[in-house]
Amino acid sequence: MPEDQTAAALAGSTREHRGAHRVGTVDPDTTVEVTVYLRPRRGAPTRIAEDAAEPAPMLSRSELAEARGADPGEMAAVEQFASNHGLDIIERDAPGRRLRLRAGAAAMGRAFGVDLQRFQHLEGTYRGHTGPVLLPPELSDAVVAVLGLDDRRQAETRLRHAKDNSGVSYTPVTVGTAYGVQPGARATGVCVALIELGGGFSAGDLATYFTSLGLAEPEVEAVAVDGASNAPSGGSSGPDAEVMLDIEVVGAVANGTRIAVYFAPNTDQGFADAISAAVHDASRKPAVISISWGGPENTYTAQAVKAFEDTFTDAALAGTTVFVAAGDSGSSDGATDGLAHVDYPASSPQVVGCGGTQFHLEDGVIVTEVVWDDLPSGGATGGGVSASFPVPSWQESAGVPVSANPGQASGRGVPDVAGDADPASGYQIRVDGDDIVVGGTSAVAPLYAALAALAVAKAGEPLGFINRTLYQLGDSGFRDITEGDNGAYSAASGWDACTGLGSPKATPLIEALAARRASPAGTS
């Protein structure tokens, strides 16, 4: 513990150890890396989804860094703190307001006032601590999160494998065409970022796959974050399937895209750092980000959510549109407490949450489309009412119900949109030399990312925050899904907590997005 008795607890830094028990102390010489997130510069623009002012121009990455990057004095104070405690600075990212620090466990624990312990959970052993992170007075206002002291697994893929490959399945091209993507549609040069917390891709598999579709292979680049890398595991049942699904859906539906795959460790630190790396990438400048990983809202600390939300604000201001899978375990989101939960980061009001349907095609035309629900033996689309975020202004007239939980609280409704996700009407992909069929809302986020990339190509500029526009489009941009449920919530006319506004009518949706003036404040 710090000797300074005036040390302040970092808000939201205490993390519960549900289902785990302490099994020992971390070796004091074990190397520990953390990322310290700072607040945006004082006076920085904070226009996000709720703003109703006139549309503002997007900021370039350099303008964003100047406007919302870390205050130089506050960054210097963290650097001095690190030096005082013998912590090595291994990465400085002023635009992303973060410093990555490294030291032995004993030194790191002393610096932040925590006793690092080992905990055993059914999912494995992890490092963690009890009680909050403590900060000296000179940092207590500036620091919003210290991530990495706890290294437990943060997120899961939102992917489901077909029970076998003998059922109905489609190529991403067929899915896109069914939703109205025009033949030969391209998004030449548009950069789409994929966030991956494990796995990898094989150039050989990608070449084989796109050749089989008669398409040019997209330009795919791996970007290392926090020491992670493109590391295929060699098994189609692991995270490689997620990585390949994301690449193959984006590349097939929006051929010609440049795909940047940001690989990071599967911790709250790695997840946050990967998103920040993509948003602030001044070289590749992703116009669209697709995230197919997540977990129930209550599995994140408030400090982690603060770091994520600050970065999503940066994305909106820079014109980057973010799509996130809404989960594959129905209204419980896989939690076992008997309550309804929604998935984060899909529940962020600054992203587009993507739910799932099951559809049937005849001669390439949709003849039926319902909520994806194969519970209890399989998966189902996530969706429901957020316990973390209030109803955004652009959802106020959507008819978001109160929560199905006791207390019936109101909150941000999830998802916003939907698309084919049932493995029983799944996607044909290639991974680790195998041709397999998968589904899950993991497929829907890259599907919409591809549609957004097509709109960016048509507009000639990024789209920025689009949620308000999506809700204004209604039936003109979406096919309403009115049948089915995901457990606690049922489909209905208009928006619902299973499939949101519905599945895409690609041509009018793309045209409407391309025609709008990009508005990072969410006004349109």
Q: Using the structure block, give the residue that is written with the tokens 């520990």.
A: 32
Which amino acid does the sequence have at 452? A
Contact 303, 13 (CB under 8 A): yes
- Kindly tell me if the per-residue pLDDT of 68 is higher than 90: yes
pLDDT band at 151 (very low <50, low <70, confident <90, very high): very high
Is the pLDDT score of 227 beyond 90?
A: yes
Residue 167 has pLDDT above 80, yes or no: no
Please state, in angstroms and rounded to a whole number, the distance separating the CA atoms of residues 206 and 204.
5
In this predicted structure, the answer to whether residue 23 has a pLDDT above a threshold of 80 is: yes
Q: Which of 223-227, 234-238, 347-351 has the lowest mean pLDDT?
A: 234-238
Show which residues are catalytic: 242, 246, 442
The per-residue pLDDT for 448 is 98
Nearest to 352 by CA among 379, 331, 324, 378: 324
CATH number of 156-515: 3.40.50.200
Residues 481-494: tens digit of each pLDDT = 999 999 999 999 99
- 276 contacts 311 by C-beta, under 8 angstroms: yes
Q: What is residue 80's three-state secondary structure?
A: helix
Statement: residue 1 has pLDDT above 80: no
Average pLDDT over every residue of 99-103: 98
**Length, in residues, of the chain:** 524
pLDDT at 42: 87
Instruction: Please tell me the predicted confidence (pLDDT) of residue 524.
Output: 34
Average of per-residue pLDDT across 235-245: 91
CA distance 11 to 6: 15
Say what the pLDDT of residue 377 is. 85
> So what's the pLDDT on residue 2?
46
Rounded to two decimals, the pTM is 0.96
Instruction: Give the chain's mean pLDDT.
Output: 94
Buried b (16+ CB within 10 A) or exposed e, 3-26: eeeebbebbbbbbebeebeeeeeb
Token output for 516: 């709008």
Domain boundaries, the chain: 8-147, 156-515
Read off the pLDDT of residues 340-356 as tens digits, 9 standing for 90 and up.
999 999 999 999 999 99
For residue 396, count other CB atoms closer than 10 A to its CB.
Answer: 10
Q: Which H/E stretch holds residue 259?
A: strand 258-263
Query: Above pLDDT 70, what percent of the chain?
Result: 95
Average pLDDT (157-172) is 88
- CA gap 413, 398 in Å, rounded: 9
pLDDT band at residue 50 under the 50/70/90 scheme: very low
- Confidence tier at 329 by pLDDT (50, 70, 90): very high
At residue 212, φ and ψ (nearest 5 deg) are -65, -25
Residues of the chain with pLDDT > 90: what percent?
90
Determine the pLDDT at residue 56.
53
Tens digits of per-residue pLDDT, 248-278?
Answer: 999 999 999 999 999 999 999 999 999 999 9
